[in-house]
Amino acid sequence: MGYSCKSCKKCMLKDNFNITKDKDGLVIALAGNPNTGKSTIFNALTGLNQHTGNWPGKTVLQAQGTCIIKGKKCTLVDLPGTYSLLANSIDEVVARDFLCFAKPDATIVVTDATCLERNLNLALQVLEITDKVVVCVNLMDEAERKGIKVNTDLLAAELGVPVIPTSARSKQGLDELISMVYELATGNITSNPNPIPYDQDLEEAIQELQPQIEALLKGRLNSRWVALRLIEGDEELLEGIKNYLSQEELEEDRVEEKCAQ
Amino acid sequence: MAIEKPLSEMPIGTVGTVIENGLTGLTKRRLMDLGFIPGSKIEVLRKSPAGDPTAYYVRGTIIALRNNEASHISIIPHNKF
């Protein structure tokens, strides 16, 4: 946060998330449970040598690097590993705020093929926030060794987003991953995640809240997801909205003022 | 009929199914995210020297809980995993 201009989205990214975005560059986030190989993928894609280690919680705050995909500069952001995005802890808040308010052009959710079920909790939560998601089923080599087979086509159909199998340590599947991310981030392909249905009374409450939220947020956040968080009584999110979106609002007001002049 | 019992009272080696997560608020949410939800198969793996916390195998991972959390999770023990 500082003294730079606050007149554009670009500076909002710079001030709040320390990201410098090129004019037609892309911002790509890496999310996933702890210890699924996010940092290994990050290093393989960026050529950086961020510390990877076999213990959870080592990426406490986001790390970033750049890579060039098909001539476009991409800023890759390695988010802290979390089991959830419901903001129980500082790393969950970091990951959630980034996905919500920095609006990456695409998000890679890295999952562990050896215990996929546990990992899909987070994948589904990310899908409720944004539909620009590629699910990467990593550690396929290890799963194979344990006799686990993953039907990625079926998973893709169930989730409604692309699913790419990888073994990041041996660099398998990374080309496919990155080209899928590129296609999604540039809008060449669109994903269509299947919404998660809730109990009827909850759905009714969502129906009631959603139009009001939509009117206030004007598409800046997924209103169904915000409705769910409000029903849950999530104060952290309100705090986040206050922090990030009110700035945007100020910026918009300024632009409008300028136009009026 | 099997009777629900608090997870904290189960000896090492017990296997069972989670029936209810009776915690509240963020702790409940956290443990749900970690896999302590109704229907999860669970195994009591080992206890720390002082008997608290205890390590449980749940949905593909080992997770240790304090007794004051585990006592709010009820399970039905069964014979094998």
Over its length of 261 residues, how does chain A's per-residue pLDDT go in tens digits? 444 444 455 556 666 676 666 667 899 999 999 889 888 898 888 887 666 554 545 555 567 888 888 888 888 988 888 899 886 677 788 888 889 988 899 999 999 999 999 999 999 999 999 999 999 999 999 999 999 999 999 999 999 999 999 999 899 999 999 999 999 999 999 998 988 899 999 999 999 999 999 998 888 899 999 999 999 888 888 888 888 887 766 666 665 565 555
For A255, other C-beta atoms within 10 Å of its C-beta total 12
Q: For residue A15, give both structure tokens.
A: 């001030």
Q: How many residues does this entry show for chain A?
A: 261
CA-based nearest residue in chain B for residue A114 = B60
Tell me if B61 and A118 make a contact (CB, 8 A cut-off).
Answer: yes
- Please state the three-class secondary structure of A182-202 as a single string: HHHHCCCCCCCCCCCCCCHHH
CB-closest option in B26, B29, B35 to A118: B35
Q: How many CB pairs under 8 A join A and B?
A: 22
Residue A63's beta-bridge partner residues?
A78
Provide residues of A within 8 Å CB-CB of chain B. 83-84, 86, 88, 114-115, 117-118, 121
Residue A259's pLDDT is 53
Q: Looking at residues B52-77, what average pLDDT do you find?
A: 93
- Domain of B58: which CATH number? 2.30.30.90
Domain limits for position B72: 5-78
CA distance B16 to chain A (A): 18
Q: Which of A36, A82, A88 to mutate to test the interface with B (most CBs of B within 10 A)?
A: A88
- Measured CA to CA, the distance from residue B27 to residue B8 in angstroms comes to 16
CA-nearest of B79, B61, B49, B68 to B7 is: B68
The answer to whether the pTM exceeds 0.90 is no
Which residue is it, tokens 């129906």?
A207
Helix, strand, coil content of chain A in percent (nearest 5): 50, 15, 35
CA-based nearest residue in chain B for residue A85 = B33
Residue A6's pLDDT is 47
Q: Which residues of B touch A121 (CB under 8 A)?
A: 33
Residue A234's pLDDT is 83
| Count of domains forming chain B | 1
CA distance B58 to chain A (A): 9
Tell me if B29 and A88 make a contact (CB, 8 A cut-off).
Answer: yes
Q: For residue A3, give both structure tokens.
A: 């003294």
CA-based nearest residue in chain B for residue A115 = B60
Q: Looking at residues B51-71, what average pLDDT do you find?
A: 92
Give the ipTM of the model, two decimals please: 0.80
The CATH code of the domain at A9-185 is 3.40.50.300
